[in-house]
Amino acid sequence: MINESNVSIFLDLLRIKFDNSTASARSIYHESKDENVKRAIAVSCALELIKSEITGCEISNLEYLLDKLPHFTDIIQKSLDVKNDKN
């Protein structure tokens, strides 16, 4: 379940900086030129989402979610890259 704690962790992972004057946000993901750093950030976000889903779940569900980690990471990274292109 996504909650205030998860959002705080995502903000920490991405190191998001908000600019109220331009209503925009930038992050270390967007500022990084290293693809390995970008991938690591996306993986961390995906793992945080998985963590929020595994509370009280069966091991088979955890295994399924971890098997899907590359897919979740790709989706997160693609979404962050699209946002970057618009800035």
Domain ranges of the chain: 4-86
Query: Given this model, what pLDDT does residue 49 score?
Result: 83
Q: Say if CB 9 and CB 48 are below 8 A apart.
A: yes
Is 51's pLDDT higher than 90? no
Is 86's pLDDT higher than 50? no
Q: Say if CB 19 and CB 26 are below 8 A apart.
A: yes
- How far are the Cα atoms of 44, 68, 84 from residue 34, in angstroms, in the given order? 16, 24, 14
Residue bearing the bigger pLDDT, 73 or 24: 73
Is 71's pLDDT higher than 90? yes
**pLDDT tens per residue, range 19-42:** 777 767 778 888 888 999 889 989
Query: Given this model, what pLDDT does residue 85 score?
Result: 46
Q: 87, 18, 11: which is closest to 44 by C-alpha? A: 11
